[in-house]
Amino acid sequence: MKIAVIGAVAAGTSAAAKARRTNKEAEIVVFEKGIDISYAGCGLPYYISDIIEERDQLLAFTAQTFADKYGVELRTEHEVKEIDPAKKMIYYDHLAESKKGGYEYDKLIIATGATAIEPPFPGLELNNIFTLRSVNSADKIKAAVNSGQVKKATIIGAGLIGLEMAEAFSERGIEVTVVELQEQVLPQFSPEMAELVAEHLEAKGVKLILGDGVDHFAGEKELAKVVTASGKEIEADLALLSIGIKAETELAQKAGIEVGESGAIKVNQKLETNLKDIYAAGDCAESTDLLTNKPVWIPLGSTANKQGRTAGENAAGGDAKHYGILKTGITKIFDLTAATTGLTLEEAEAAGIDAFEVKIKARNHAGYYPGAAPIHLKGVFEKESGVIVGAEVIGGSGSDKRIDVLATAIYNRMTADELFQVDLAYAPPYSSPKDPAAVLGMVAA
């Protein structure tokens, strides 16, 4: 059996590794157009802030170490240009040697990921306007910061990456302004929870311009100003566009592979596309919202790794399933953690779920033990059954474990009372006798 994988970051390498574990005999070849493989995209802001000092720390494997460990062939600088499903062939350009070639597969896994959106704003060609996606893109931003020339940065987009980068630039002594089209930061959070994050950012010296977008970038050769749609002129010697990403599906679509409304590749629970023997996984593919049962596209490394593993196992002859996601996400913004899982009240209502929400403010651990910090929790519960369907947590240390407890409760369709009844761990440095997650259930029950 010959298995081809296109893309070698989270989904592609997970797929190849699991395919090898499932099938010791198969020939497995991974095609990657870049040079770096299996890198931690999620670690890029910390590489720029210097928390992670060495580039190599971001790379789990080189092409050679990965190939050696898993007994697969890893062809970097190979860009796949065409898939011919009828002949079961892929055609590629070997970029380094300016050569073309083809490979015949029995099973194909598409793990082409996503790319940062860069609308054609006037002035985009000026120096020092960046997007952040790969280690290469992080190298460029880090080099600009290391030059010492960057005093003021403007970040366009207040999503997870934009805000992680606000912290990273601030850590490097750069004055930061964030411009966001929506009226709140972190648009996936409910407004009053996002407001807590906005207050924290401002307390840390980050300027926020909400409800406004970029009109153009101004400068001679170097960027000098970001000009917003409302006419604000923000002095900047670096701009970061973090306004979203789009699934990399052109190659798949040209081959007749179906794409959903989200713009990502449609897959079933086995990660099969509409074409026989072709799978898709990671940021290029949809998943299923476990609460609404509808296709959803929330491109995250956590999902990419799981989907890659499932696609790899199935391509190699196994029978694995990826059931779906709760859209669980988490981010660190200076001293705050902001995390979300499941549905907001608005999403629940839109899905026809009659729901109510409960908000509490607690402490992350016993108030008398040093380091106690506020933690805000919000839960969304179905009215009739009392089942929890969504949660948001914003606070200090310990916010991460609360969101994971709540995600587990949602996954298991637990009621508010069951959430209160769970026997959660307690000692003063970690929690309170009634853990905040349990209190949320207690108040909702």
Residues lying near ligand FAD in the complex (CB under 6 A) are found at: 6-7, 9-12, 31-34, 41-42, 44-45, 79-80, 111-114, 132-133, 161, 248, 251, 282-283, 299-302, 304
Q: Which residues pair with 223 in a beta bridge?
A: 219
> In terms of Cα–Cα distance, which of 242, 246, 243, 162 is closest to 208?
162
CB of residue 256 vs ligand FAD: minimum separation in angstroms? 16
Q: Which of 328/432 has CB closer to ligand FAD? A: 328
Neighbours of 34 (CB within 10 A): 17
Query: Residue 88 in 3-state DSSP?
Result: coil
- What region does 123 belong to: left with phi over 0, alpha with psi -120 to 50, or beta? left
> Starting at the edge strand that comes first in sequence, how are the strands of the sheet with 129-130 ordered?
129-130, 238-241, 152-156, 175-180, 207-210
Q: Select 32 or 392, whichever has its Cβ closest to ligand FAD.
A: 32
Looking only at the bridges linking them, the beta strands covering 99-104 and 89-94 are antiparallel
Would residue 42 show up in a list of annotated catalytic residues for this protein? yes
In angstroms, the CA 6 to CA 93 distance is 13
Q: Which one from 40, 42, 59, 245 is the annotated catalytic residue? A: 42
Q: Smaller CB distance to ligand FAD: residue 7 or 390?
A: 7
Q: Which is nearer to ligand FAD, 200 or 309 (CB)?
A: 309
Residue type, 426: Y
Least Å distance between CB 324 and ligand FAD? 16
Please report how the helices 301-315 and 10-22 are oriented relative to each other, as an axis angle in degrees rounded to 10: 30
CA distances from 107 to 22, 26, 29, 253, 323 (A): 14, 10, 11, 17, 22
For ligand FAD, the closer CB: 180 or 283: 283
Q: How far is the CB of 231 from ligand FAD (least distance, A)?
A: 30
For residue 353, the minimal CB distance to ligand FAD (Å) is 26
Question: What are the strands, taking DSSP E only, across 127-277?
Answer: 129-130, 152-156, 175-180, 207-210, 214-219, 223-228, 233-235, 238-241, 245-247
Name the residue nearer to ligand FAD (CB basis): 2 or 359. 2
Which neighbouring-strand residues pair with 45?
none
Query: Minimum distance between the CB of residue 133 and ligand FAD, rounded to whole angstroms?
Result: 5
Least Å distance between CB 430 and ligand FAD?
A: 23
Which C-beta is closer to ligand FAD: that of 11 or that of 193? 11
Q: Which helix (H) or strand (E) holds 27?
A: strand 27-32
| Cα–Cα dist 114/116, whole Å | 7
Q: What contacts 374, CB < 8 A, 6 or more positions away?
A: 361, 362, 363, 364, 395, 396
> Closest approach of Cβ 41 to ligand FAD, in Å?
3
Catalytically annotated residues: 42
